[in-house]
Structure 1
């Protein structure tokens, strides 16, 4: 199949149906009638000799073949669109665009308020959608274009995923005021034996598995007792304020999440490496002026957190 005999608009239709998962929404996005979109889909099916999408109720579910080509299709459309721009300069005040960011609650709370203030002042046409993403899905999300950027701890990813360290933090331990097992003197820190003798809260979106602090303990052949596993640090801070459970979490977010509870803060009683946060984006967006601008904002704001 030679590109000279291919209508490139068909790939725009393919991407829209894949993104929206619905013919009606895809037609609205492209400002085309549903019959026009259905005709384009029929041409695509004939061209690839594959159904491409299977209807389930009102949803259009992509076939394995569609899933296998969508990343390349989106990258090609993006590069083609960039090449057609007569002015490659970026004007924040004139740009209208939505970015999808992969953020955990830690980063949502620490970075989004100031990011949105900056966007309102410098680029009011830019909007942000923050989503929680499994680490195993980061590479696929960035490659497909479903995610523009992700803030996460260091993880191994393919070479087409670019990354930059944007901040460093450390672990601290929260306990309620007047906890019976904590040191009575304010200038005496929590020791390791006392830490291990207590019951703990672990914050994680996963049903099982260890937290970062548990990996650090395991290196020394140590384990702690997890009595509660919950999804959000704010909820965990409240639990700590009303129980004898301890919570281990990043220091910068603790300053915010713990503000109204005034739990005691101690250093994590084990020498550990600092917690790095990395910003990830796909290589195809590396030279995109709007993407570059937003990366710069995130980098500057993350530097201010520490």
Structure 2
């Protein structure tokens, strides 16, 4: 018992943060990026922790770091204790948005940023004039990892299948609208026949796979002709303003751009499922005052933006 207490007193808690990063990332370079240190510093910290605990903890398989059986047994209770320690420390720290110089990182797809960022930045800097805000793209398949590692503090996105430790809450839902250049479609709401007869433009950052609106239409047994696929809405809107192509987008985005681009804007002529927008965060930020303030701000801005439209 005395030896256990001696080891505990000698343990550098920073080593446990390295352990957490390597366990989540399973890669030294990605763990180093999360911790903002060099891969050699991660290797050095792991070596110290291995000597302290008397186990290899991870073994290399190519570029991957695979946990040993002892590491797998240790990880769950250890990471839970780290999370409890974070919660305790968060309760002690007083957060004042008017004084903080913290940088807050919010993951959001381009369409959400185009719609929400103007109102969000106004509200953000009105309450936190010394802080910084970064709106960043993110890989949806890596949402849990990005939130756990602190690479993003929260995310705004369409509904996604997630599970604990990722928390989420639906903020609003949106409906789809279609945009086209004046003269390239009817000057009234298009019919379903006219919508399907038109040629369409789709926006996706992926090389293949259906976009959200096509997935929704397919559930109705409807298939449209997508003539052009591009990477972002800025390009898509420029194309629509100079072509006969039609663009289907969430209603909030269509409201934000239709007038500025002199485009016709109409509801899609199908009973399409609405598009819910969710707020995502990690459970270890549940009690964090700064994270709570950010979540409240995001919810207030998004709900207010939609209710005024």
Q: Distance in 2 between matches of 1:80 and 1:160?
A: 16
Q: 1:225 Cα deviation (Å)?
A: 0.9
Q: 1:165 to 1:260 in 2, by over 3 A?
A: same
Q: SS in structure 2 opposite 1:242?
A: coil
Q: Residues 31-56 of structure 1, C-alpha deviation per residue, up to 9 Å, x if partnerless?
A: xxx99x875443124336438698x9
1:75 touches 1:284 (CA, 8 Å); kept in 2? Answer: no
> In the alignment, which residue of structure 2 is the partner of 1:30?
none
- Indicate yes or no: 2:56 matched with 1:50: yes
Q: 1:289 Cα deviation (Å)?
A: 0.9
The match for 1:65 among 51, 64, 67 is 67
The match for 1:149 among 151, 154, 167 is 154
Q: Distance in 1 between matches of 2:149 and 2:77?
A: 8
Q: 1:26 to 1:75 in 2, by over 3 A?
A: farther
2:90 touches 2:289 (CA, 8 Å); kept in 1? Answer: no
1:202 touches 1:211 (CA, 8 Å); kept in 2? Answer: yes
Normalised by the length of structure 2, the TM-score is: 0.79
- Indicate yes or no: 2:241 matched with 1:241: yes
Q: Distance in 1 between matches of 2:20 and 2:152?
A: 14
Q: 1:100 Cα deviation (Å)?
A: 2.5
Q: 1:125 Cα deviation (Å)?
A: 4.0
1:202 touches 1:230 (CA, 8 Å); kept in 2? Answer: yes
Q: Distance in 2 between matches of 1:116 and 1:215?
A: 32
> In the alignment, which residue of structure 2 is the partner of 1:196?
196
Q: SS in structure 1 opposite 2:115?
A: helix
Q: SS in structure 1 opposite 2:279?
A: strand
**Which deviates further from its counterpart, 113-122 or 99-108?**
113-122
> In the alignment, which residue of structure 1 is the partner of 2:113?
108
Q: Distance in 2 between matches of 1:70 and 1:242?
A: 56
How many corresponding residue pairs?
289
Q: 1:129 Cα deviation (Å)?
A: 2.7
Matches within 5 A, 1:76-95: 76-77=81-82, 79-84=84-89, 87-95=92-100
> In the alignment, which residue of structure 1 is the partner of 2:281?
281
**Which deviates further from its counterpart, 131-140 or 296-305?**
131-140
Q: 1:4 Cα deviation (Å)?
A: 6.5
Q: 1:207 to 1:284 in 2, by over 3 A?
A: same
2:147 touches 2:282 (CA, 8 Å); kept in 1? Answer: yes
Structure 2 spans left out of the alignment, 5+ residues: 23-27
Q: 1:84 Cα deviation (Å)?
A: 3.6
Q: Residues 34-79 of structure 1, C-alpha deviation per residue, up to 9 Å, x if partnerless?
A: 99x875443124336438698x9xxxx7623399898987765454
Q: Distance in 2 between matches of 1:125 and 1:15?
A: 31
Q: 1:75 to 1:90 in 2, by over 3 A?
A: farther
1:74 touches 1:144 (CA, 8 Å); kept in 2? Answer: no
Q: Distance in 2 between matches of 1:86 and 1:286?
A: 11
Q: 1:192 to 1:84 in 2, by over 3 A?
A: closer
**Which deviates further from its counterpart, 243-252 or 80-89?**
80-89
Q: Residues 208-237 of structure 1, C-alpha deviation per residue, up to 9 Å, x if partnerless?
A: 222222123222322111111112112111
Matches within 5 A, 1:102-181: 102-179=107-184
Structure 1 spans left out of the alignment, 5+ residues: 28-33
Please give the root-mean-square deviation of Cα atoms over the aligned residues, in Å: 3.4
Normalised by the length of structure 1, the TM-score is: 0.80
Q: 1:295 Cα deviation (Å)?
A: 0.2
Q: Distance in 1 between matches of 2:37 and 2:57?
A: 17
> In the alignment, which residue of structure 2 is the partner of 1:21?
32
Q: 1:276 to 1:4 in 2, by over 3 A?
A: farther
